[in-house]
Amino acid sequence: MKTLKLIIELVPSTVWYSSIYRLCKEKNQMHKWHKIKKELFEKEGRKCWICGKENIRLEAHEFWEYDDLKHIQKLGAIHHLCSMCHKIKHIGLWLHTEDGARMLKEAGLSEVDVIAHFCAINNCSVEDFDKHKKEAFEIFAERSKYNWKQDFGNIIM
Ligand SMILES: [Zn+2]
Ligand SMILES: [Zn+2]
């Protein structure tokens, strides 16, 4: 299969809720989060880092790298995404939990819209989506067996 521009990246369940955003919030350091966002706007402009959509609300997404031998989850980068590309990243939440289903409905969207966005950005078929999603969930299941040591890279908390 060809390389996909927009891929699903599921965070192992053992490290759910542990992110830069959460840390900033818990430690009362939201100014750090705002600084990260401001720097992103300055560096990358006000557009989705993946699909390039402009004039929309942008959500900062943490891109993680996984060392599957040492079980280290390292923060590779943070980029601004549009809400649809961001939903693909966290597709487990949006399409596979009750909370996600409710929020999706509240946003006036359905599973079909989310899948259609994936197919449009990647110029692929729904079958390609299904195959990619299955693989992403297999990786997720395997990685969720382990505890991960987190490495926030050059972001100091
Ligand atoms: Zn996008
Ligand atoms: Zn995210």
Q: Which residue blocks in 16-110 are alpha helix, DSSP H?
A: 20-26, 30-44, 83-89, 91-96, 98-106
Q: Whole-model pTM?
A: 0.92
Instruction: Please name which ligand lies nearest the alpha carbon of 54.
Output: 1
Residue 36 near residue 60 (C-beta atoms within 8 A): yes
Residue 140 near residue 133 (C-beta atoms within 8 A): no
For residue 77, being part of any structural domain is answered with yes
Residue 7's identity, in one-letter code, is I
Task: Name beta bridge partners: 50.
Answer: none
82-106 burial, b if ≥16 CB within 10 A, otherwise e? bebbbbbbbbbbbbeeeebeeebee
Domain that holds residue 25: 13-151
| pLDDT tens-digit series, residues 110-133 | 999 999 999 999 999 999 999 999
Residue 2 near residue 129 (C-beta atoms within 8 A): no
The total number of structural domains in the chain stands at 1
Percent of the chain with pLDDT over 70: 97
> In angstroms, what is the span from residue 116 Cα to ligand 1's centroid?
12
Instruction: Please name which ligand lies nearest the alpha carbon of 53.
Output: 1
For residue 5, being part of any structural domain is answered with no
For residue 46, being part of any structural domain is answered with yes
| pLDDT tens-digit series, residues 67-107 | 999 999 999 999 999 999 999 999 999 999 999 999 999 99
Taking ligand 2, which is a single-atom ion, which protein residues have CB atoms under 5 Å away? 61
For residue 1, being part of any structural domain is answered with no
